[in-house]
Amino acid sequence: MTPSTEQRDFFDGRIPNRDRCVARYLIDRWASVKPDAVYVAFEDGSQWSYAELRRRVLAKAAGLQRLGVAKGDQIVVWLPNGQDVLLTFYAVTYLGAVFVPINTAYRGGILAHVLANAGAGIAILHPDLLARLKEIEPVPLTQLVLTTSIAAPDIGLPAVRFDAIDGDAHTLMPPDAPIEPWDLQSIIYTSGTTGPSKGVLSCYLHMYSNAGPESWPMVTGVDRYLVASPFFHIGGMGAAFVMLVRGGSIALLENYTTEGFWAFARQSEATVVFLLGVMANFLLKRPPSTADRDHAVRTAFVVPLTDDAALFRQRFGVDVYTIFNMTEISSPLVSACNPVKRGTCGRPRPGVEVRLVDAHDCEVPIGAVGEMILRTDRPFAMNSGYNRAPEATAAAWRNGWFHTGDAFRRDADGDYFFVDRVKDAIRRRGENISSFEVEIEVCAHPEVREAAAIGVTSELGEDDVMIVVAAVAGARLDPVALYHFLVARLPHFMVPRYIRLLDALPKTPSAKVQKALLRSEGVTADCWDREKAGLRSKREILSR
């Protein structure tokens, strides 16, 4: 039900009306205002208009409601990109329930932790992932919804088929209370850096502010945004939502490949693309073609900004922007069009205050390195904390500012430059990796006494994963055997490239591992390199 005029007038200027920022009312609004306009173009050439989107969403929402899903319920969604995850996202949020997507590469202890933390009873998942649920005990779920009709292993939980739960839209009951802009929309799991992965609590206003009209004015309602990131990342789910906010459209890419990217951009008539720096580099490394400018793309976000941004602009005929963002915040830094400063992340956007501070939250001078902390003038424009983690929430939000854990410097012109991570995280191919979680799995090997996971510079940009390991007394640890042990326990993107064996890890006087020293030593001559050994971690299709 679309909010009444009286309801809409309730909100003040900083908080948009419900039908401007809440999924349920946005879907209703656009289906009424522009029913035949395309909202999504898929890889197979099919499209959904706003009217078709609403028809499908209402049928699926009615089916989920019949399963007992209600406003505020947390629903785990474990799906690859495609029609099913998009429909699930909007059906869940249409009910006012909470969308909890999880990485399709998760398994073992990481999967068990996330499911336990989510606290959901229902999971909607692809049957190919069921086998991983059998690896953990107990499975903290009560109901499964499987998205295909293929035979799936029985894990002792009630299961229904996704395509069989559609209900009659006329039977759909409204939520007990209106869905408000500050209500929880999603919980997105982001890698922990000193502990297990944390679930970021995100309300509708957070998602709206993340890349909304004020944050990204260069993207408008006439644009079609090519969504190449998975829906368990804010770059996938958030992009779909902010184009719904604008009444624009998306092109949903199921599996990114360098070879197929421009072909899909051309086919789908996308006008905006978002690329990790490494993705942009891969596209540039392909042989030049007469088709390089045969597309409708006019705007490309490249994050982080590469040294070849000008070449990318010239070759592909697009305007380049860059930003700084993370799951918890809302694009606080946005660049001007075609920035020229090497490594810039842009300047603070309207509505955001940015400070660079020392360990005591005292501001550092211009040119000095400090941790970036943030606050916004719109309530709820950033995360609402971490799910079931009050200590982590309090630490991040201390002194009334959100602490990003990232080190920056600012020049005299007001441009910001990323320096390093204050937190001990590793970033590989667009994935944030918790060194803590890697170390837990490494230390599960019976011959490992202690381990440290660090990021080392990759020739492709961002990091490669290295583990530095000390064996138990008397053991002769084999790097190849350890590698195969980890392949079976870790998501593909966490599997280390390098393994270094030491008698003991270097420690501080307080017995903490000196990771800064290990990082400074980098890839040493005694490191085992799985790529030189001809071993590559298989990237399963569901983990893309």
- How many CB atoms are closer than 10 A to CB 386? 25
Q: Tens digits of per-residue pLDDT, 282-308?
A: 898 889 999 999 999 999 999 988 778
CA atoms within 13 A on the CB side of 335: 26
DSSP-assigned letters across all residues of 247-260: T-EEEE-SS--HHH
DSSP-assigned letters across all residues of 448-495: EEEEEEEEEE-TTSSEEEEEEEEEPTT----HHHHHHHHHTTS-GGGS
Higher-confidence residue of 282 and 88: namely 88
Residues 6 or more apart from 44 whose CB is under 8 A from it? none
The span from the first CA to the last CA of the chain, in angstroms, equals: 36
Whether residue 123 contacts residue 145, with contact meaning beta carbons closer than 8 Å, is answered with yes
Using CA atoms, how far residue 318 sits from 245, 274, 300, 315, in Å, is 24, 12, 6, 8
DSSP state of 169: G
Whether residue 522 contacts residue 472, with contact meaning beta carbons closer than 8 Å, is answered with no
- Least reliable range by pLDDT among 52-61, 315-324, 492-501, 529-538: 529-538
What distance in Å separates the CA atoms of residue 4 and residue 399, rounded to the nearest whole number? 39
Question: Is the pLDDT score of 543 beyond 60?
Answer: no
The structural domains of the chain, with segments of one domain joined by +, span: 17-32+51-200, 226-421, 431-543
Q: What local confidence, expressed as pLDDT, does residue 473 receive?
A: 83
Tokens standing for 34? Answer: 């522009």
Q: What local confidence, expressed as pLDDT, does residue 318 receive?
A: 98
Whether residue 432 contacts residue 400, with contact meaning beta carbons closer than 8 Å, is answered with no
What distance in Å separates the CA atoms of residue 131 and residue 107, rounded to the nearest whole number? 10
Question: Is the pLDDT score of 191 beyond 70?
Answer: no
- How many CB atoms are closer than 10 A to CB 148? 13
Handedness of CA 216, 222, 228, 232 (dihedral sign): positive
Question: Is the pLDDT score of 276 beyond 90?
Answer: no
Q: What are the residues facing 250 on neighbouring strands?
A: 40, 225
Q: At what angle do helices 23-33 and 234-246 cross, to 10 degrees?
A: 40
DSSP state of 35: T
Whether residue 204 contacts residue 183, with contact meaning beta carbons closer than 8 Å, is answered with yes
Whether residue 78 contacts residue 126, with contact meaning beta carbons closer than 8 Å, is answered with yes
DSSP-assigned letters across all residues of 110-137: HHHHHHHHH--SEEEE-GGGHHHHTTSS
Whether residue 207 contacts residue 186, with contact meaning beta carbons closer than 8 Å, is answered with yes
Q: Is 427 helix (H, G, I), strand (E, B) or coil?
A: strand
Identify the burial level of 164 via C-beta atoms within 10 angstroms of its C-beta, where 0-12 means exposed, 13-18 middle and 19 or more buried. Answer: exposed
Q: Tens digits of per-residue pLDDT, 371-419?
A: 999 999 999 999 999 999 999 999 999 999 999 998 899 999 999 998 7
The three-point CA angle 130-100-32 to 5° equals 115
Whether residue 453 contacts residue 442, with contact meaning beta carbons closer than 8 Å, is answered with yes
| CATH number 1.10.300.10 given to 17-32+51-200 | no
Is-same-fold flag (17-32+51-200; 226-421)?
Answer: yes
DSSP state of 92: H
What distance in Å separates the CA atoms of residue 184 and residue 100, rounded to the nearest whole number? 11
Residue 226: closest CA among 318, 125, 93: 318
Q: Work out the pLDDT band at 9, boundaries 50, 70, 90.
A: very low
What distance in Å separates the CA atoms of residue 201 and residue 273, rounded to the nearest whole number? 26
Question: Is the pLDDT score of 194 beyond 70?
Answer: no
Residue 228: closest CA among 248, 249, 254: 254
Question: Is the pLDDT score of 312 beyond 70?
Answer: yes
Average pLDDT over residues 56-78: 98
Q: What local confidence, expressed as pLDDT, does residue 539 receive?
A: 59
Question: Is the pLDDT score of 541 beyond 90?
Answer: no
Question: Is the pLDDT score of 511 beyond 50?
Answer: yes
Q: What are the residues facing 161 on neighbouring strands?
A: 146
- Give CATH superfamily name and number for 226-421: ANL, N-terminal domain (3.40.50.12780)
Q: What local confidence, expressed as pLDDT, does residue 1 receive?
A: 35
Q: What local confidence, expressed as pLDDT, does residue 162 receive?
A: 95
Tokens standing for 47? Answer: 């499209």
- Give CATH superfamily name and number for 431-543: ANL, C-terminal domain (3.30.300.30)
What distance in Å separates the CA atoms of residue 517 and residue 427, rounded to the nearest whole number? 19
Q: Is 212 left (phi over 0), alpha (psi -120 to 50) or beta?
A: beta
CA atoms within 13 A on the CB side of 376: 24
Reported pTM = 0.84
Q: Work out the pLDDT band at 7, boundaries 50, 70, 90.
A: very low
Average pLDDT over residues 321-345: 95
Q: What local confidence, expressed as pLDDT, does residue 540 receive?
A: 45
What distance in Å separates the CA atoms of residue 275 and residue 277, rounded to the nearest whole number? 6
Handedness of CA 493, 325, 313, 298 (dihedral sign): positive
With residue 190 as reference, give the H or E element that holds it: strand 184-190
Q: Tens digits of per-residue pLDDT, 116-128?
A: 999 999 999 999 9
Average pLDDT over residues 481-501: 93
Tokens standing for 513? Answer: 């591992």
Residues 6 or more apart from 158 whose CB is under 8 A from it? 142, 143, 144
Q: What are the residues facing 223 on neighbouring strands?
A: none
How do strand 448-457 and strand 498-502 relate by DSSP bridges?
unpaired
Average pLDDT over residues 86-96: 98
With residue 303 as reference, give the H or E element that holds it: strand 299-303
What distance in Å separates the CA atoms of residue 488 and residue 495, rounded to the nearest whole number? 9
Q: Work out the pLDDT band at 20, boundaries 50, 70, 90.
A: very high
Residue with tokens 């905006």: 272
What distance in Å separates the CA atoms of residue 194 and residue 424, rounded to the nearest whole number? 7
Average pLDDT over residues 521-531: 93
Which segments of 222-345 does DSSP mark as H helices, in order?
A: 234-246, 258-268, 277-285, 309-316
Q: Tens digits of per-residue pLDDT, 256-269?
A: 999 999 999 999 99
Q: Tens digits of per-residue pLDDT, 198-231?
A: 999 999 999 999 999 989 999 999 999 999 999 9
Using CA atoms, how far residue 317 sits from 303, 509, 533, in Å, is 18, 55, 40
Q: What local confidence, expressed as pLDDT, does residue 444 receive?
A: 86
